[in-house]
Amino acid sequence: MPAPEIVIRLLTPADTPAFCALRLRAILDSPSSFSSSREDELARTPEEHAQRIAGGAFQRGFGAFDGERLVGFAGLQRERMRQLSHKALLWGVFVDVTQRGKGVARRLVNACIEQAERDPAIMQVHLSVNAENNAALRLYESLGFIAYGTEPRSMRVGELFHDEHHLALLLK
């Protein structure tokens, strides 16, 4: 069921504090879903965070807002190297537990896909997802992403290793 009260929009540098707070909540909630640790996030400067969410044509972030409160995020990062610039990476998808099951993640990912489709240089979007996160995997597959491999022990959280599936959406 869609969440019509939730507004999806591009983030700006002014959204950096809200993004940082949500990102820390996301890592606390689902540490095996993110490459960054809490310590990694806290080590970044406000300028680095602003660049991650609103870094021009190569780095965009979309936020889901319930009124003024940021409750979800998804990022799209285009590869900068010439021979890889036909690819973009979908990263950091997270929806606050209070908004899950309402279609917010689908809307965020769709916003990223639409952004990629508007860029004539981007021909495919890639992502990685924890192999145990079946809900996310089903979402991505329902949007047309196809799996092309699994990386064993891709991430180590504490003493536990996690595999990740790699998926791609071919746009053009």
Cβ(116)–Cβ(152) below 8 Å: no
Domain ranges of the chain: 6-170
Of 6-10, 29-33, 43-47, which has the strongest mean pLDDT?
6-10
Rounded Cα–Cα distance for residues 11 and 21 (Å): 14
74 burial (CB, 10 Å; 0-12 / 13-18 / 19+) is buried
CB atoms within 10 A of CB 124: 14
Q: What is the model's pLDDT at position 120?
A: 94
Bridge partners, residue 91, by sequence: 75
CATH homologous superfamily of 6-170 equals Gcn5-related N-acetyltransferase (GNAT) (3.40.630.30)
Q: Please, which pLDDT band fits residue 3 given cuts at 50, 70 and 90? A: very low
Q: What is the model's pLDDT at position 154?
A: 94
Q: Please, which pLDDT band fits residue 57 given cuts at 50, 70 and 90? A: confident
